Chain A
Amino acid sequence: MTDTLTTRSITTDSKNRSREAKEAERQYRRARGWSPWKSVLKHIGLILVGFIMLYPVIWLVVSSLRPTEEIFRNPGIVLDSFEVSNYSEGWNTLSEPFHVFLLNSVLIVLGCIVGNLVSCSMAAYAFARLKFSGKRWWFAAMLMTLMLPIHVIIVPQYIMFSQLGFVNTYLPLILPKILATDAFFVFLMVQFIRGIPKELDEAARIDGCGHARIFGVIILPLMVPALATTAIFTFIWTWNDFFSQLLYLTKPEMYTVPLALRAFMDAQSSTSWGPMFAMSVVSLLPIFLVFLFGQRFLLKGIATTGGK
């Protein structure tokens, strides 16, 4: 059954289930001993679970707009004052204003996205479409790296990058993506390309197209959904990444958002929770926006790769 759990079947599944089909399903359920009371109870339960889960995050946002001393007194989420002073204060607490860290994070994220899109799609094309010697072994190697803990490679990698003088540059963070080390995305794209009808590239081949053109003109435009999924996941994972940024970035002006938040917490006194909450909200906002607009691709991607 794992075999049927492909990206494609999930898309078609959600697309085909039109409004009428849903309505029919509801009527069917009603005919089979469905009771409104049970249903209401179930919804209340589900809403309660969701509310409890999101409560800390909602409270974080509300508290960031309150004076700091209220954070330790008011567990409610009804906002009666509206103070933006936490934001202006938090923005300027560290040695650099917060937009420096935001820009640094954006720069790394963009580099990683471009790197992943180019290199992973190329590797995926080879694995999904080309026949070559040792393919089984290379593919197995790729799948194995999916499960490799980063710690086994991080020490020599750090030594290598530090001897190359790359510490306190963004190269150690971006270079691995340009070299397609995120096997998750290679695998995701392989799955996607396998779903594209082979007749298309065979026709192009007969017309005299080489692999570069088949890849660039036929496959790439058709795999935009997979590319979008990759871009969105790369955004979120790189934005949240802490471990490798902690290793490679030690100068405050090079700090990314997670490192800035950590520095904030180390430097804080008990009175600066308000500004720290405010900057936490700022740091979560891009993820929330990406989630809001890219949810479709996220849900598809997670079903194939297993997410993080």
Chain B
Amino acid sequence: MSALGELRKLSAGKRPQTAAEKAFIKKDNRRDNKAAYLFLLPWLIGLAVITVGPMVASLALSFTKYNLLQAPKFIGLDNFIRMMGDERLHNSLGVTFVYVFVSVPLQLAAALALAALLDRGLRGLAIYRSVYYLPSLLGSSVAIAVLWKQVFGGEGLVNQFIAIFGIEGRSWIADPSTALSTLITLNVWTFGAPMVIFLAGLRQIPVMYHEAAQMDGATKWQRFTKITLPLLTPIIFFNLVLQIIHAFQAFTQAFIVSGGTGGPADSTLFYTLYLYNRGFSNFDMGYASAMAWFLLLIIGVFTAINFWASKYWVNYDD
């Protein structure tokens, strides 16, 4: 069961228990509580010190001016007011939205299409799966970003290829109108991970559904749209939520390809990259914290919209 499924179940509420069950659980509890909290101790400390503590501190810092050297100074909502007038921030939001809402659908479409093509019993399935999956392991590395910078550079691999057909290319990375598309391409290139999840989901669809439809004369395409897609919607939803959350946080590739600046002309200045520059280049820690909480809000809103919209298109058979 996926993490999202778990959350859904948890929010659905507790199963009613009989009195006998309750009594039994109570007796059992006394024995396990101490052991359980001992086993959870590292995780609990981590939750407090590494996750929740810093989260709260970051919220507090977002109302201050802080540069690491002097003590934080409370400035109320000034950071948030400044954010409303910060042109670069608005631009970085735009860049991030384009990246997320172009690359994620393309990536998932590629993942779904190839998963559907890799039928059960296809010869060489394991090899295809490995080949398509490999880029998603390499994709987040600095080395691949270095490679991308060359491939889409002025004298890069892409231009060498199109030169064969007599087309003169330009530096895709140095041109503000194309720089972002090279990063989108990179994210689409890593469709292997969601593809593997789709493949696992496809395996769960009973063959007899397809057989029955085939006997009734359904074409391949009809079977795909009427059987496979509806039954796969929970997995599509799972992939969509995860990949959107993930894409909002993209950082390394933009950092390396643009040399840390988000250039040219801020065209690859992801929100996270701008946040990093505010916080760790300018040591504007209060502002960076405010930005971080705004990011959390954005991701939260989009995830909530996703969950809400899922009622209308995701089929749960339970």
Contact = CB atoms under 8 A, between A and B. Distances in A.
Interface of A: 1-6, 9-10, 13, 22, 25-26, 29, 32, 42-43, 45-46, 49-50, 53-54, 56-57, 59-60, 71-75, 118-120, 122-123, 125-127, 130-133, 135-136, 138-143, 145-160, 162, 175-176, 178-181, 186-187, 191, 210-212, 215, 236, 239-240, 242-243, 246-247, 257-258, 261-262, 265-266, 273, 276-277, 279-281, 283-284, 287-288, 291, 295, 298-299, 302-308
A125 B43 CA distance: 12
19 contacts: A2-B1, A13-B203, A29-B119, A50-B128, A56-B151, A119-B46, A122-B39, A127-B40, A139-B6, A149-B292, A153-B58, A155-B292, A157-B50, A160-B57, A181-B46, A242-B142, A242-B252, A299-B129, A305-B3
B25 interface: yes
Given A9-B204, A265-B256, A236 B137 contact: yes
A305 B137 CA distance: 15
Contact of A262 (B142, B200, B316): B142
Given A283-B141, A291-B137, A153 B37 contact: no
Nearest to B191: A53
A96 to B, nearest CB: 17
B143 A291 contact: no
What is the predominant secondary structure among interface residues of chain B facing chain A? helix
Contacts of A32: 214
B138 A284 contact: yes
B140 A308 contact: yes
Interface residues of B, number: 114
B248 A149 contact: yes
B77 interface: no
A170 B2 CA distance: 32
B34 to A, nearest CB: 9
Contacts, number: 311
A74 B193 contact: no
A6 B197 CA distance: 11
Nearest to B127: A50
Interface string B133-166: 1111110111110111111000111001100100
Given A133-B29, A159-B57, A176-B46, 17 more contacts: A1-B234, A1-B317, A57-B138, A133-B33, A142-B43, A143-B6, A146-B3, A152-B58, A158-B280, A176-B50, A178-B42, A242-B255, A257-B142, A261-B146, A284-B141, A295-B133, A306-B193
Interface of B: 1-7, 10, 14, 25, 28-29, 32-33, 35-37, 39-43, 45-47, 49-51, 53-55, 57-58, 61, 68, 114, 117-121, 123-124, 128-138, 140-144, 146-151, 155-157, 160-161, 164, 189, 193-194, 196-197, 200-201, 203-204, 214, 231, 234-235, 238-239, 242, 245-246, 248-249, 251-252, 255-256, 259, 272, 275-276, 279-280, 285, 288-289, 291-293, 295-296, 299, 303, 316-318
Contacts of B296: 148-149, 151-152
Contacts of A118: 42
Contacts of A295: 130, 133
B189 to A, nearest CB: 7
Contacts of A74: 160
A79 to B, nearest CB: 16
B43 A180 contact: yes
A38 B197 CA distance: 26
Contact of A123 (B43, B50, B123): B43
Contacts of A150: 249
Contacts of A160: 54, 57
Contact of B196 (A46, A139, A242, A303): A303
A226 to B, nearest CB: 15
B55 A287 contact: no
Interface centre among A26, A56, A279, by most B CB within 10 Å? A56
Given A3-B5, A130-B36, A132-B29, A50 B200 contact: no
A262 B258 CA distance: 11
A175 B36 CA distance: 22
Contact of B292 (A152, A180, A298): A152
